C-alpha cells in the first residue's frame, strides 16, 4: 500500500514536471515573443525566429545562478534575471506541491494504519463476542441441567415423603392390630387359666409348676441392726469395722469413705511386667493402683488385671468387680472361663486365669462390699484357689473372718455353674434363676454375679440380685462388690 502511494506520488511529480516544462515552454514563447518585440542591435533580420535553450539542472539548486555576461555570447543566449526568477518561482511552486503531496501521503498512511488497528480491534471484538456467546450457551445448558436435577430431587423427596406416610399409616394399622391381638391373647390367657382351674377341680390332679430354688431365709445376724425388708434403708454399723491393724502401711482401709478413692483411675496403666500377680508388681516398686500386665505360672498368655495397692498393704489382684451394672453377667460357660468386662470397671477376670493365679502359691480371698448407704463391709477367707476346668473350677476356701457375715462357706467345694453347664446341687439350673454363673449349691447364700439392682432392696420372683444373705438377706442387692486375692503373708 505504501509502495503504491509512493508510485502515485512519483507519477504526480512527473506530470507536474511535464506541465512545468510545458508552462516553461509557454513562458519561453512569451518571453521569446517579448524579445521579438525588443529591438536587437546589429540584427536586421528581425523576421528570423529566435530560439532559447535552457539547461535546467536536475539536482536541487542551492545557490545563486550566475549568468555570464560577455560579449562573446550572443544576446539570444543570455539568461536574464527574470528568467532565473521565473525558474525559481516555478521550482518553489513545485516544491510546495511536493510538500503538499507528501503531507497528503502521510495523512493517507496514518489513516491506513488506523484502519489496520480498527480492523484488528474488530477481529478481537468478534472473537470476544464469540467467546461470550459460547459462555452464555454453556451457562444456559448448565442451568437447564440443574433445573432437571432439582426437579428429579424434588420428585424423589416427594416419593420418599409419600413412602414415609404410607409406612406410618401401615405402622398405625399394625399397632392397632397388635393391640387387638394382645387383647385377644389376654382374654385367652384368662380363659385358659379358668379352664385349667376347672380341670384341676374336676380331676383333682394338681399340676406341678416349675419350682424355683428355695429362697434364702438367712436372717442377717452379723449386722447389728436388722435390715427392714422391702426398704432401701440400711443403718450403718458403728460397732464393727475393718480391723485397723491389718497392715502397717498407711492408706485407705476398706472402711474408707468411698470406694471411688480406691477405685481405678483413668489411664493408670503400667507398661512394666508381666508379673506373676499384683503382689509381685508391688514388690517391684509399683505402689499405685492401676492396670498391670500379669502372666501367672502355667497361663498360656499374659492378661491385664487391676491391682489394688492402696488397700490393706496392697498387692491385691482384683478378680471380680461390680459397681454400676454396666456389664451383663448373665453369660455362658466359655465367657466365664475366658473373662469379660472392663478391667477399670465391671469385669470378671476369667475362671482359667483365676485358677492359674491361685495355683502359684497360697492365696487368701477378700470380698469387699458396699451397700447403698455407702457403708462397706468385708468377708475374708484364709485360703482360696480353684480346681481345674476338669473339676468345673471347684471352689476351695479357708476359714472366714470379717464383718459381712459368712455367706460363701456354704459354697465351698461347689463347682461352677453357668446357664449352659449345670453343676449345682439343685434339680434345676441355679444360673437360670439367679441370672449369672456362680459356685452354686442349691442354690446358696450368695451370688455376686446376679443382676445389679439400683437402690438395694429389689422385687423379683427369684433372688437374682447381687446378694450376700448374711448381710441384707436375699432381696438386698449390693451397690458395689470386689473380690481380690493376695498371697498369704
Ligand atoms: Ca442343677
Sign of torsion over alpha carbons 103, 106, 112, 114? negative
What confidence score (pLDDT) does residue 9 get? 52
Residue 214 CA to ligand 1 centre (angstroms): 13
**For the residues 270-287, what does the mean pLDDT come to?**
89
Lookup result for grid cell 506520488: 9
Lookup result for grid cell 471411688: 260
What confidence score (pLDDT) does residue 204 get? 62
**For the residues 46-66, what does the mean pLDDT come to?**
59
Q: What percent of the chain has pLDDT over 90?
A: 56
**pLDDT tens digits, residue range 412-448?**
999 999 999 999 999 889 999 999 999 999 898 999 9
Residue 215 in 3-state DSSP?
A: coil
Residue 440 CA to ligand 1 centre (angstroms): 9
The span from the CA of 175 to the CA of 172, in Å, is 5
- Which range, of 117-131, 191-205, 337-351, 454-468, averages the lowest pLDDT? 191-205
Cis peptide, bond prior to residue 409, ω within 30 of zero: no
Q: What percent of the chain has pLDDT over 70?
A: 71
The span from the CA of 452 to the CA of 372, in Å, is 12
**For the residues 288-312, what does the mean pLDDT come to?**
93
The span from the CA of 312 to the CA of 247, in Å, is 6
Residue 46 CA to ligand 1 centre (angstroms): 179
Residue 434 CA to ligand 1 centre (angstroms): 12
Residue 459 CA to ligand 1 centre (angstroms): 24
Please answer whether residues 395 and 178 qualify as being in contact, where contact means their C-beta atoms are separated by less than 8 angstroms. Answer: no
H-run or E-run covering 109:
helix 81-203
Residue 468 CA to ligand 1 centre (angstroms): 21
Task: Report the range out of 168-177, 184-193, 196-205, 322-331 with the highest average pLDDT.
Answer: 322-331
Dihedral of CA atoms 194, 196, 198, 204 in degrees, nearest 10, equals -150
Residue 428 in 3-state DSSP?
A: coil
Lookup result for grid cell 437402690: 455
Residue 419 CA to ligand 1 centre (angstroms): 10
Residue 218 CA to ligand 1 centre (angstroms): 22
Residue 330 CA to ligand 1 centre (angstroms): 17
Cell numbers of 19, please? Answer: 506541465
Cell numbers of 377, please? Answer: 463391709
What confidence score (pLDDT) does residue 68 get? 55
Residue 428 CA to ligand 1 centre (angstroms): 5
Cell numbers of 207, please? Answer: 399340676
pLDDT confidence band for 227 (50 / 70 / 90): very low
Residue 425 CA to ligand 1 centre (angstroms): 5
Q: Which of 377, 371, 403, 405 is nearest to 234 (CA)?
A: 371
Inform me whether the pLDDT recorded for 407 exceeds 80.
Answer: yes
What confidence score (pLDDT) does residue 63 get? 63
**For the residues 270-277, what does the mean pLDDT come to?**
83
pTM score of the predicted model = 0.52
Residue 226 CA to ligand 1 centre (angstroms): 32
Dihedral of CA atoms 420, 422, 423, 427 in degrees, nearest 10, equals 170
What's the 3-state SS for 269-309? ECCCCCECCHHHHHHCCCCCCEEEEECCCCCCCCEEEEEEC
Please answer whether residues 254 and 302 qualify as being in contact, where contact means their C-beta atoms are separated by less than 8 angstroms. Answer: no
Cell numbers of 343, please? Answer: 478391667
Residue 442 CA to ligand 1 centre (angstroms): 8
Residue 417 CA to ligand 1 centre (angstroms): 8
Residue 437 CA to ligand 1 centre (angstroms): 12
Residue 343 CA to ligand 1 centre (angstroms): 31
Residue 415 CA to ligand 1 centre (angstroms): 11
Inform me whether the pLDDT recorded for 5 exceeds 90.
Answer: no
Inform me whether the pLDDT recorded for 254 exceeds 80.
Answer: no
Residue 129 CA to ligand 1 centre (angstroms): 95
Lookup result for grid cell 480498527: 118
Amino acid at each position: 500500500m505504501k509502495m503504491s502511494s509512493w508510485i502515485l506520488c512519483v507519477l504526480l511529480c512527473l506530470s507536474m514536471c511535464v506541465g512545468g516544462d510545458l508552462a516553461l515552454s509557454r513562458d519561453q514563447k512569451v518571453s521569446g515573443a517579448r524579445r521579438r518585440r525588443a529591438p536587437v542591435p546589429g540584427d536586421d533580420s528581425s523576421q528570423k525566429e529566435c530560439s532559447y535553450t535552457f539547461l535546467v539542472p536536475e539536482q536541487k539548486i542551492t545557490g545563486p545562478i550566475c549568468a555570464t555576461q560577455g560579449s562573446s555570447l550572443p544576446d539570444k543566449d543570455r539568461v536574464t534575471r527574470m528568467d532565473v526568477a521565473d525558474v525559481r518561482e516555478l521550482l518553489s511552486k513545485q516544491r510546495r506541491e511536493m510538500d503538499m503531496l507528501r503531507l497528503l501521503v502521510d495523512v493517507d498512511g496514518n489513516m491506513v494504519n488506523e484502519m489496520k488497528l480498527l480492523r484488528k480491534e474488530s477481529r478481537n471484538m468478534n472473537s470476544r463476542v464469540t467467546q461470550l456467546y459460547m459462555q452464555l450457551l454453556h451457562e444456559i445448558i448448565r442451568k437447564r441441567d440443574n433445573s432437571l436435577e432439582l426437579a428429579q430431587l424434588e420428585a424423589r423427596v416427594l416419593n420418599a415423603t409419600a413412602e414415609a406416610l404410607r409406612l406410618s399409616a401401615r405402622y398405625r394399622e399394625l399397632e392397632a392390630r397388635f393391640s387387638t391381638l394382645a387383647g385377644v391373647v389376654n382374654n385367652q390367657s384368662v380363659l385358659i387359666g379358668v379352664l385349667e382351674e376347672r380341670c384341676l377341680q374336676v380331676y383333682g390332679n394338681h399340676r406341678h409348676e416349675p419350682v424355683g430354688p428355695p429362697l434364702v431365709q438367712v436372717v442377717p445376724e452379723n449386722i447389728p441392726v436388722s435390715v427392714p425388708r422391702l426398704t432401701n434403708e440400711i443403718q450403718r454399723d458403728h460397732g464393727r469395722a475393718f480391723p485397723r491393724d491389718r497392715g502397717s502401711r498407711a492408706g485407705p482401709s476398706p472402711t474408707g469413705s468411698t470406694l471411688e478413692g480406691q477405685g481405678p483411675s483413668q489411664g493408670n496403666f503400667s507398661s512394666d511386667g508381666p508379673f506373676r500377680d499384683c503382689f509381685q508388681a508391688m514388690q517391684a516398686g509399683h505402689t499405685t493402683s492401676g492396670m498391670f500386665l500379669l502372666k501367672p505360672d502355667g497361663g498360656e498368655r499374659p492378661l491385664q488385671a487391676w491391682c489394688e495397692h492402696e488397700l490393706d498393704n496392697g498387692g491385691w489382684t482384683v478378680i471380680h468387680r461390680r459397681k454400676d451394672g454396666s456389664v451383663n453377667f448373665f453369660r455362658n460357660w466359655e465367657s466365664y472361663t475366658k473373662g469379660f468386662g472392663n478391667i477399670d470397671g465391671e469385669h470378671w477376670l476369667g475362671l482359667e486365669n483365676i485358677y492359674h493365679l491361685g495355683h502359684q502359691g497360697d492365696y487368701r480371698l477378700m470380698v469387699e462390699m458396699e451397700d447403698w448407704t455407702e457403708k462397706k463391709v468385708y468377708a475374708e477367707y484364709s485360703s482360696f484357689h480353684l480346681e481345674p476346668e476338669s473339676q468345673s473350677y471347684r471352689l476351695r476356701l479357708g476359714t472366714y473372718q470379717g464383718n459381712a457375715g459368712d455367706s460363701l462357706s456354704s459354697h465351698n467345694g461347689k463347682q461352677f455353674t453357668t446357664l449352659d453347664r449345670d453343676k449345682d446341687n439343685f434339680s434345676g439350673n441355679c444360673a437360670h434363676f439367679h441370672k449369672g454363673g456362680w459356685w452354686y449349691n442349691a442354690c446358696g447364700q450368695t451370688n455376686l454375679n446376679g443382676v445389679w439392682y439400683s437402690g438395694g432392696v429389689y422385687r423379683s420372683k427369684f433372688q437374682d440380685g447381687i446378694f450376700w444373705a448374711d448381710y441384707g438377706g436375699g432381696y438386698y442387692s449390693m451397690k458395689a462388690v470386689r473380690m481380690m486375692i493376695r498371697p498369704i503373708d
